[in-house]
């Protein structure tokens, strides 16, 4: 049975035929046969997940499917189960799949048993462990400060320690997640995990869904840095092991240098360079930490050497661990006699102490690498500082970070049998600029009828005094006309305009998944939020959508700031980049209106500057949506960014 035959079988079961979906199936088939990179713009209603899953299942092709959000992962899971069920009915063949996240999302049982965390958090984790839980800490209500103490950490879970870890065979990640990954025909990951490459890629097809968001997730995945909490946690642990105070004045470093950069509207700031902070990073942070770690290393090393000399025989586990840590001289290792398997309690105690040294040295090396990055000032690397309130610290936790301005070449298409990038809004130039990926570009036809829907363009914009009044007035008009209203904002400060209203869900007050479900079920009548609402919400039925303004990125956003500076430096037009990104996001926002053939509704855009940008207006006209302008505009020659 080929892909089209399976597709036509599904049509006999009441599945709705879509011309664009059939076209996409053929394009994906071609990719599986010939390889290469395909960029597929599949407008809302194409049913793109079925269009790439059907050929993958029929051809028994091992695949990695990467998405940007948990919402889409959940949808993918449902679609895979649906198709796999019908495929098994037809052929008797099972389709194995797994949805996985990066290792840092999973519980480390060993760390959980050893670390000091709030008792309420411990009870919550223990309750989860009594169920069929897969170890995913994001399903708990734990604060991030707790999660980083008990999750799987590369610096803790080294190869050497994994071989000695008493919980290795029952480990959520290494024993369970990795086994599911090995057995999976289809592996569903997120864009951040895709960048980390924690899975085998050989002979597999890569599908990148929601490709318009890929660059931001890749940048996030390759961001690294230091934080106040990081130092406070290390300091506390070292003091406990050394039995004396350790002075690492991290709070002084962060507060004195960066507190002045923040205000009520922003808790993050772009930094041109970290060069001026390097001397302090060395004297206030690196040197005190290094001295404490070295003192601990000498103390534990002496303890281990004394034990080895006084003991006739040790376990194979203990000797192998000492050798694999690379912390001890060869002569010492050779002098150790091993003769039994299970380590004694004293050996376990020493393993834990040596493990701590190895852990702290790795953290120290990360700090050293960060300082070296600051010293090198490589082209294409940006810097930022941010703060967030921490209950654990009872104050702000500061983060100092470096990131790739454009994460080009993070993904290498040559590592895969074929690569397919798809989204309702694929812009090949943007994909190439931000990720370095190029390929054959396909545009599929629109599927839904927009002629019964309307977009009102209000005669205002954020630079006018009446903008807030018109924004809130239009909000209440939409609330009176529709039981479901989406408010798409670009500035979190504007969330305050709607907080006092009734039957409203505000992004950030609860998980987005729950808020969307509340809107669908009628528990709330309006959902108000920022980025994710423009691109990741699927609410069927009649609805009103309020767009506060054209979604241009805030130039104060650190990533946007560095991108604009970089483009200007290399002779490119920064505004072309901004305009293209706004155009992509605007099209995504319009796509929230109609999610099935019977849907209709109204969009209100409180930004008359749309008339300056021809591509925005041309896009609306291509849909056939009714455009109503509230006001008179001077018609000027409008040129699209391309």
pLDDT of residue 641: 57
> What is the C-alpha to C-alpha distance for residues 50 and 16, in angstroms, rounded to an integer?
12
Task: Give 187's strand partners.
Answer: 64, 98
Give 360's pLDDT tier (boundaries 50, 70, 90): very high
Q: Is 33 exposed, middle or buried (0-12, 13-18, 19+ CB in 10 A)?
A: exposed
Which DSSP state fits 176? I
**Nearest residue to 87 (alpha-carbon basis) of 181, 180, 17, 9:** 9
pTM equals 0.89
Task: Give 454's strand partners.
Answer: 602, 626
pLDDT of residue 499: 86
Q: What DSSP line would sit under 522-542, residue for residue? A: TS-SEEEESHHHHHS----SS
**Nearest residue to 121 (alpha-carbon basis) of 144, 105, 100:** 144
**Nearest residue to 177 (alpha-carbon basis) of 256, 98, 76, 109:** 98
pLDDT in tens, 3-31: 999 999 999 988 888 899 999 999 999 99
Give 1's pLDDT tier (boundaries 50, 70, 90): confident
Cβ proximity of 60 and 203 under 8 Å:
no
Q: What are phi and psi of 64, to 5 degrees?
A: -115, 125
> What is the C-alpha to C-alpha distance for residues 641 and 615, in angstroms, rounded to an integer?
7
pLDDT in tens, 602-615: 999 999 999 999 99
> What is the C-alpha to C-alpha distance for residues 122 and 109, in angstroms, rounded to an integer?
12
pLDDT in tens, 553-586: 999 999 999 999 999 999 999 999 999 999 999 9
> What is the C-alpha to C-alpha distance for residues 185 and 96, in angstroms, rounded to an integer?
5
pLDDT of residue 512: 84
Determine the 3-state secondary structure of 369 from DSSP: helix
Cβ proximity of 486 and 592 under 8 Å:
yes
- Of residues 190 and 272, more confidence is placed in 272
Cβ proximity of 284 and 250 under 8 Å:
yes
What's the whole-number average pLDDT of the chain? 93
pLDDT of residue 637: 53
pLDDT of residue 200: 86
pLDDT of residue 298: 93
Q: What DSSP line would sit under 256-303, residue for residue? A: HHHGGG--SS-SEEEES-SGGGHHHIIIIIIHHHHHHHHHHHHHHHHH
Which whole number is the average pLDDT over 303-307?
92
Maximum distance among all Cα pairs of the chain, rounded to whole angstroms:
94
Which whole number is the average pLDDT over 626-640?
68
> What is the C-alpha to C-alpha distance for residues 425 and 233, in angstroms, rounded to an integer?
43
pLDDT in tens, 151-160: 999 999 988 8
**Nearest residue to 355 (alpha-carbon basis) of 502, 162, 197:** 162
Cβ proximity of 460 and 470 under 8 Å:
yes
Determine the 3-state secondary structure of 231 from DSSP: helix
Cβ proximity of 72 and 516 under 8 Å:
no
Q: Where are the alpha helices (DSSP H) in 418-544?
A: 428-435, 467-481, 512-521, 531-535
Confidence check: pLDDT of 634 > 70: no
Confidence check: pLDDT of 79 > 80: yes
Which DSSP state fits 553? P
> What is the C-alpha to C-alpha distance for residues 356 and 156, in angstroms, rounded to an integer?
8
Whole-Å CA distances, 157 to 165, 167, 168, 172, 174 = 9, 11, 10, 13, 10
Q: What DSSP line would sit under 341-368, residue for residue? A: SSPPHHHHHHHHHHHHHHHHHHHHHHHH
Alpha-carbon dihedral of residues 174, 49, 51, 43, nearest 10 degrees?
Answer: -140
> What is the C-alpha to C-alpha distance for residues 71 and 576, in angstroms, rounded to an integer?
31
Its CATH architecture, for the domain 3-96+184-220+407-443, is: 3-Layer(aba) Sandwich (3.40)
Which DSSP state fits 136? B
**pLDDT over 90, % of the chain:** 79
Domain ranges of the chain: 3-96+184-220+407-443, 103-167, 225-399, 454-629
Q: Is 154 exposed, middle or buried (0-12, 13-18, 19+ CB in 10 A)?
A: exposed
Give 636's pLDDT tier (boundaries 50, 70, 90): low
Contacts with 569 (C-beta within 8 Å, 6 or more apart), sequence order: none
Confidence check: pLDDT of 53 > 80: yes
pLDDT in tens, 208-219: 999 999 999 999
pLDDT of residue 632: 57
**Nearest residue to 103 (alpha-carbon basis) of 223, 193, 163, 208:** 193
Cβ proximity of 296 and 355 under 8 Å:
no
**Nearest residue to 608 (alpha-carbon basis) of 465, 456, 450, 490:** 456
Neighbour count for residue 340 (Cβ, 10 Å): 12
Which DSSP state fits 495? G
What is the CA angle 472-425-581, rounded to 5? 65
> What is the C-alpha to C-alpha distance for residues 155 and 164, in angstroms, rounded to an integer?
15
Determine the 3-state secondary structure of 248 from DSSP: coil
pLDDT in tens, 158-168: 888 888 899 99
Q: Which of the four CATH numbers 3.40.50.1260, 3.40.1710.10, 3.40.50.300, 2.40.160.40 does domain 454-629 have?
A: 3.40.50.300
pLDDT of residue 642: 55
């Amino acid at each position: 049975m080929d892909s089209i035959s399976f597709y036509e079988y599904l049509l006999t079961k009441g599945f709705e035929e879509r011309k664009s979906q059939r076209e996409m199936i053929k394009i994906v088939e071609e990719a599986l046969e010939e390889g290469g990179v395909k960029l597929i713009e599949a407008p809302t209603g194409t049913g793109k997940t079925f269009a790439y899953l059907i050929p993958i299942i029929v051809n028994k092709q091992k695949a990695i499917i990467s998405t940007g959000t948990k919402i889409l992962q959940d949808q993918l899971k449902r679609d895979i189960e649906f198709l796999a069920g019908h495929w098994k009915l037809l052929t008797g063949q099972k389709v194995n799949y797994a949805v996985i996240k990066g290792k840092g999302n999973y519980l480390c049982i060993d760390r959980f048993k050893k670390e000091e965390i709030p008792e309420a958090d411990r009870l919550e984790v223990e309750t989860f462990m009594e169920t069929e839980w897969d170890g995913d800490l994001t399903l708990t209500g734990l604060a991030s400060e707790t999660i980083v103490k008990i999750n799987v950490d590369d610096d803790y879970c080294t190869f050497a320690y994994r071989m000695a870890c008493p919980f290795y065979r029952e480990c959520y990640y290494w024993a369970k997640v990795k086994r599911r990954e090995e057995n999976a025909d289809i592996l569903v990951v997120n864009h951040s995990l895709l960048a980390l490459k924690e899975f085998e890629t050989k002979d597999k097809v890569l599908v990148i869904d929601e490709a318009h968001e890929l660059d931001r997730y890749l940048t996030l995945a390759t961001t690294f840095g230091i934080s106040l909490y990081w130092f406070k946690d290390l300091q506390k642990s070292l003091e406990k092991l050394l039995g004396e105070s350790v002075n690492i004045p991290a709070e002084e470093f962060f507060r004195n240098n960066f507190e002045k950069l923040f205000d009520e509207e922003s808790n993050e700031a772009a930094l041109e360079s970290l060069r001026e902070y390097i001397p302090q990073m060395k004297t206030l942070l690196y040197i005190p930490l290094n001295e404490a770690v070295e003192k601990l290393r000498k103390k534990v090393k002496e303890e281990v050497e004394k034990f080895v000399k006084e003991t006739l025989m040790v376990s194979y586990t203990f000797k192998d661990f000492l050798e694999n840590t690379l912390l001890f001289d060869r002569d010492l290792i050779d002098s150790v006699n091993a003769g039994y398997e299970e380590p004694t309690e004293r050996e376990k105690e020493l393993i834990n102490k040596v493990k701590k040294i190895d852990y702290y040295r790795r953290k120290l090396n990360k700090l050293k690498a960060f300082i070296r990055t600051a010293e090198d000032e490589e082209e294409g690397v940006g810097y930022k500082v941010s703060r967030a309130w921490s209950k654990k610290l009872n104050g702000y936790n500061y983060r100092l970070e470096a990131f790739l301005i454009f994460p080009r070449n993070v993904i290498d298409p040559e590592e895969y049998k074929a690569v397919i990038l798809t989204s309702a809004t694929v812009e090949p130039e943007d994909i190439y600029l931000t990720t370095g990926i190029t390929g054959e570009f396909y545009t599929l036809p629109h599927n839904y009828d927009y002629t019964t829907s309307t977009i009102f363009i209000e005669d205002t914009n954020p630079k006018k005094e009446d903008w807030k009044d018109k924004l809130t007035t239009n909000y209440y008009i939409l609330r009176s006309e529709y039981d479901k209203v989406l408010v798409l904002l670009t500035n979190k400060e504007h969330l305050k305009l709607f907080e006092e209203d009734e039957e409203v869900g505000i992004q950030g007050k609860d998980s987005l998944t729950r808020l969307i479900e509340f809107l669908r079920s009628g528990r709330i009548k309006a959902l108000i939020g920022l980025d994710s609402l423009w691109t990741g919400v699927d609410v069927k039925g009649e609805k009103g959508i309020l767009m506060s303004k054209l979604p241009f990125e805030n130039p104060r956003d650190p990533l946007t700031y560095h991108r604009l500076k970089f483009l200007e430096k290399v002779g490119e037009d920064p505004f072309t980049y901004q305009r293209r990104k706004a155009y992509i996001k605007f099209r995504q926002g319009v796509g929230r209106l109609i999610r099935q053939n019977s849907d209709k509704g109204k969009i209100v855009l409180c930004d008359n500057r749309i008339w300056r940008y021809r591509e925005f207006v041309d896009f609306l006209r291509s849909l056939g949506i009714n455009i109503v302008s509230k006001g008179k505009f001077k018609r000027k020659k409008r040129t699209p960014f391309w």
